[in-house]
């Protein structure tokens, strides 16, 4: 029978004291980044699992964190959640998952004073229905990490990618291909639509950099970033007197819906209309054609979110709010350059 891995085993492999390993596992802040990374590598290599029950009884914690997202049927969030669960499990935490459907009251319940604190020790939160002011008016004692496009007020951490830069890069790719009428699907010009608005900003900046003005009739709003909205928006664009020859979609699901409409009209992707998406979900890698996309580093987002939340949970004096920009990259596939350039 395999011997249970102990905290001392991790300490010996990492070349640190048992106390240091305990500090890392429990999320305490008084450990250097270099040492923390060394300990985490040793934890993962040995498969160490902390005695969560004993630790929680001693510290008065639940041993669980909540991850709150708008939709579980969106591949981006389901893929992100898998990474969060893995990162939390390695550190001895269980994960509670809740879907809000973007309902403001449901979202507010997770960050209000006295919010279900017996169930979880902190929250990783991707808000959709709450604006910036609502996040400011939350329980200040709740350990909180925000994902997506909401700025930190200094009392929580915010992790996301640079939506403006990523969208500018996506649009520049289409313009560099010589496309003349580039559309955008997914704008959301209301208070809680920051992510969409930043993508529209990047879309505009890419045109401006080439001395171009985007065609306003080609910027289409959608209530969600899903397949049906992408399909409907694309149908509207193709019915215009001068339809687009390329389209930047604010998610891969929107792109898949748009591609379906294009093909159903007897047109070709990318020959007649080039399409680029956003999120790099698995569906886009296996669609026909495969979808060119902006790929955020979901693994880094998830791991950093868990690490920062545990630092907040484990610290008597929570650290100042941190703004973290995860890297992204443009992945070029068939939907913009055809099969020869497939990656």
Domains in the chain: ranges and CATH: 1-50 (1.10.260.40), 59-160+298-326 (3.40.50.2300), 163-296 (3.40.50.2300)
Averaged pLDDT, 40-51: 78
Which pLDDT score is estimated for 197?
94
Name residues whose C-beta falls within 8 Å of residue 269's C-beta, 6 or more positions apart in sequence.
259, 262, 263, 275, 289, 334, 335
Q: Which helix (H) or strand (E) holds 231?
A: helix 227-238
Max mean pLDDT range (78-82, 104-108, 171-175, 305-309): 171-175
Strands (E) across the chain are located at: 64-69, 94-99, 123-125, 144-147, 157-160, 182-187, 219-221, 246-249, 274-278, 292-296, 323-325, 328-331
Residue 226 phi, psi (nearest 5): -130, 175
User: 4-8, 166-170, 233-237, 272-276: which has the minimum mean pLDDT?
Assistant: 4-8
Q: Which helix (H) or strand (E) holds 19?
A: helix 18-25
Strand order in 274-278's β-sheet? Answer: 219-221, 182-187, 246-249, 274-278, 292-296, 328-331
Q: pLDDT tens, 135-172?
A: 777 888 889 999 987 666 677 899 999 999 999 999 99
Averaged pLDDT, 217-244: 97
Residue 341 has pLDDT above 50, yes or no: no
User: 23-32, 47-56, 211-220, 257-266: which has the minimum mean pLDDT?
Assistant: 47-56
Separation of alpha carbons 241 and 232, rounded Å: 17
Question: 339 falls in which pLDDT band (50, 70, 90)?
Answer: confident
Residue 343 has pLDDT above 50, yes or no: no
Answer for the pair 159, 308: CB distance below 8 angstroms, yes or no. Answer: yes
Q: pLDDT tens, 283-322?
A: 999 999 999 999 999 999 999 999 999 998 888 777 788 8
Place of tokens 């060119």: 292
Q: How many CB atoms lie within 10 A of CB 50?
A: 20
Mean pLDDT computed over every residue of the chain: 88
Name residues whose C-beta falls within 8 Å of residue 311's C-beta, 6 or more positions apart in sequence.
27, 28, 29, 318, 319
Which pLDDT score is estimated for 308?
93
Share of the chain above pLDDT 70, in %: 89
Which pLDDT score is estimated for 116?
57
Residue 333's SS3 state is coil
Which pLDDT score is estimated for 342?
40
């Amino acid at each position: 029978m395999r011997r249970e891995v102990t905290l001392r085993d991790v300490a010996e492999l990492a070349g640190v004291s048992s106390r240091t390993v305990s500090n890392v596992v429990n999320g305490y802040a008084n450990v250097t980044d270099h040492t923390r990374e060394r300990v985490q590598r040793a934890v993962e290599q040995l498969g160490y699992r902390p005695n969560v029950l004993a630790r929680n009884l001693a510290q008065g914690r639940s041993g669980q964190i909540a991850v709150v997202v708008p939709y579980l049927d969106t591949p981006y969030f389901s893929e992100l959640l898998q990474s969060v669960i893995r990162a939390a499990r390695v550190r001895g935490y269980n994960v509670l998952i809740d879907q809000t459907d973007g309902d403001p009251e449901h979202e507010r319940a997770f960050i209000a004073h006295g919010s279900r604190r017996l169930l979880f020790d902190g929250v990783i939160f991707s808000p959709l229905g709450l604006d910036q002011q609502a996040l400011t008016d939350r329980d200040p004692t709740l350990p909180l990490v925000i994902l997506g496009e909401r700025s930190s007020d200094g009392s929580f951490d915010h992790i996301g990618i640079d939506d403006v830069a990523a969208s500018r890069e996506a649009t520049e790719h289409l313009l560099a291909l010589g496309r003349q009428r580039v559309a955008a699907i997914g704008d959301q010009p209301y208070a809680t639509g920051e992510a969409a608005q930043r993508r529209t900003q990047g879309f505009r900046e890419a045109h401006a950099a080439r001395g171009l003005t985007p065609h306003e009739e080609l910027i289409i709003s959608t209530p969600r970033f899903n397949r049906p909205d992408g399909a409907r928006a694309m149908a509207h664009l193709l019915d215009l007197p001068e339809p687009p020859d390329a389209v930047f979609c604010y998610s891969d699901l929107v792109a898949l819906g748009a591609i379906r409409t294009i093909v159903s009209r007897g047109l070709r992707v990318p020959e007649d209309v080039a399409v680029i998406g956003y999120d790099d979900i698995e569906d886009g890698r296996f669609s026909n054609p495969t979808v060119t996309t902006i790929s955020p580093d979901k693994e880094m987002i998830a791991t950093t979110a868990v690490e920062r939340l545990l630092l907040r949970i484990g610290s008597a004096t929570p650290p100042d709010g941190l703004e973290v920009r995860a890297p992204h990259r443009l992945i070029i596939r068939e939907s913009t350059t055809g099969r020869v350039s497939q990656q």
